[in-house]
Amino acid sequence: MRLVVICIGRLKQGPERELAERYRERFEDIGRKLGFRGLEIHEIAESRARDAGARIAEEAAAISALLPEKHALVALDERGKSIDSASFAQQLGRWRDEGTAHTVFVIGGADGLSPELQRKALLRIAFGSATWPHQMVRVMLLEQIYRAATILAGHPYHRA
């Protein structure tokens, strides 16, 4: 299974990009041994439309254009479900074992994701009830993906 992260907004050079890249590289190292075929990150420029509805629609169209044909969609949503790392790992492992070709994680723009993308998501997750900057959400997601791989591998990184 290939993992894909689609993000509205770009990470500039700096500590967030370095940390995101560190977790992506760590995942690549351990993920191959677990049957994961890589981790792609696609950045989409934020819409410049005047109203929120138009921005959400433009961003949804750009996200949808990047969705592979067969995929499990996971939406990062502040109103999503809070799940622990072990449950997250179990879900990724289940999709991998079921032969899911791609698991796609979507981080929307400042106005959120379109209702259509939210409906299509098999899982909607939140990193707590706080509102986080999109660049931090990306780092936290990549860390959780890496942590999930270590849990599936029985690696001691996760000590809960």
Give the three-state DSSP class for 1: coil
pLDDT per residue as tens, the chain (160 positions): 999 999 999 999 899 999 999 999 999 999 999 999 999 999 999 999 999 999 999 999 999 999 999 999 999 998 899 999 999 999 999 999 999 999 999 999 999 999 999 999 999 999 988 888 888 999 999 999 999 999 999 988 877 6
Q: What pTM was estimated for this model as a whole?
A: 0.95
Instruction: Check the annotation: does 99 bind a ligand.
Output: no
Instruction: Check the annotation: does 76 bind a ligand.
Output: yes
Q: Which domains does the chain have, with CATH numbers?
A: 2-153 (3.40.1280.10)
Rounded Cα distance between 74 and 69, Å, is: 15
The string of DSSP codes covering 93-160 is HHHHHTT-SEEEEEE-BTTB--HHHHHH-SEEE-SSSS---HHHHHHHHHHHHHHHHHHHHT-TT---
